[in-house]
Amino acid sequence: MRIFIISLFLSTIVLTPIIAEQNQPNIATIPLPPAQENKYNIQSFKLPNGLEVLHIPNFRAPVIMQAVCYKIGSADDAQGKSGVAHYLEHLMFRGTKNTPDGVFNKTISEIGAESNAYTQYDTTVYYQIFAKNHLERMMELEADRMQYFEPNPQAFDSEKRIIIEEYQMRVGNDKNEQLYTMTNAAFFANHPYRIPIIGWWEELEKISRDDALDYHKKYYGPNNAILVISGDIDFESTKKLAEKYYGPIPARPTIERNRTQEPKHFQETIRVELRHQTVSAQVQAIYDAPNYRTGDQKEVLALSIFEKILGHDSTGKLYQNLVMQQKIAGNVYASFNPNYHDPYSFVLVASPKTFYDYKELEYAMHVTLKKIINDEINDALVEDAKKNIVYEMDEHFSSLSNISDFIIKGLANGRNLKDMLNFHQNFAQIKTKDVQDVAQKYFKNPPRMIAAGVSLSQLESDQ
């Protein structure tokens, strides 16, 4: 991940974008949900080269965000070449055929903008937030590195060294990250989600210049990308500028994701334990769970409500029971993210109040979870959870970056715009019995995995 953040003084910037005069582009319109389901006034179209473009208006400040999401991530790295997607993300800042190394970052600094990029399992995203009068320049630079990627030759070795140092810092020296890495590697038997996004150390060292160039050539075409322009700009201006700067980029050959798939899991629970002075004391119960793209949407929505009932904070049922009543945990929460391209997991995490055998806390979590599922999911609880989810999503969408990130990742992972924007009605249709049914279905058996961090320093302090 590369980050460049400079102060942006909104009150001093009042210029408007320069719009080039040209003929109306041949743009295919992507069907949108009805007006009542599109409260954010999002408009969408597709350029002839296949680039999907979304316009999200927000006129509260003279600021624009540009985000380009490539429908490719670390889970698409070739076998034996883990880390290539993340390596390419670093190199994208190191020059093109038309833009020398350093110019992109210097421009970000000079105009007082924010620039970021990040690689995830399913997507790679590049974005900038800047004063509205700089949109053309930002589009020019982003389109340039989509088409004419040609880094400084010295960057290939220097960026690889940076990534290896990043691996050592994040994984080699961080026991909590090691526990996460061990857990994923054991939870997924065959799917590439088992491989760290940054890659395995031994394979990182062997990644070559040609690997990065081939990856860009294969995957970084307009027909494998989504462009989002959000902020203080009208729809017609977005169309004209997108056609001007991204329209001339030729489409690449169509690619299909060719991932190894996860086999059906056995019911036996896998156990992973890491004992160390610096690991955080914790126990994780990890269950198989569906996702939006391949699962039943009703089930996914109901599981999202169940996650809210179990809790992210002190209002959750798990927290109230294990922390407030039994006083055996210092913290506890649930985590469910159905927005991956392939099925992922539903996780319960608890940290003990004092050191003791984590199996005691595991047992207490199990008993409490069964009690909640069998006796405590009622109409009032479900309705409160739905209201809180919708309220939090509305608040979340008030940010340029949050709404852009939500939409591009959803589209890149197989969701449609109507379902994403219609979340008020979607959650309203879920009934208490739906939540009860999915809770019974996905939690009737023991978890797929128990992962425990045993803090030896906490053991010493409690004795």
Cα(81)–Cα(36) distance, integer angstroms: 47
24-46 as b/e: b if 16+ CB within 10 A: eeeeeeeebbeeebbeeebbbbb
Q: Which residues contact 400 (CB under 8 A, 6 or more apart)?
A: 56, 58, 63, 65, 129, 230, 231
Residue type, 16: T
Q: Which residues are catalytic?
A: 89
Tell me if 118 sits within 8 A of 124, measured CB to CB.
Answer: yes
Q: Which residues contact 281 (CB under 8 A, 6 or more apart)?
A: 351, 352, 355, 358, 453, 454, 455, 458
Please state, as a whole number, how many other Cβ atoms lie within 10 Å of the Cβ of residue 62: 18
**Residue in this structure with the two tokens 């020059």, named with its chain if needed:** 95
Residue type, 109: S
Please state, as a whole number, how many other Cβ atoms lie within 10 Å of the Cβ of residue 18: 11
Q: Which residues contact 123 (CB under 8 A, 6 or more apart)?
A: 69, 70, 71, 72, 73, 408, 409, 412, 413
Give φ, ψ of 43 to 5 degrees.
-120, 150
Max distance between CA atoms of the chain, in angstroms, equals: 77
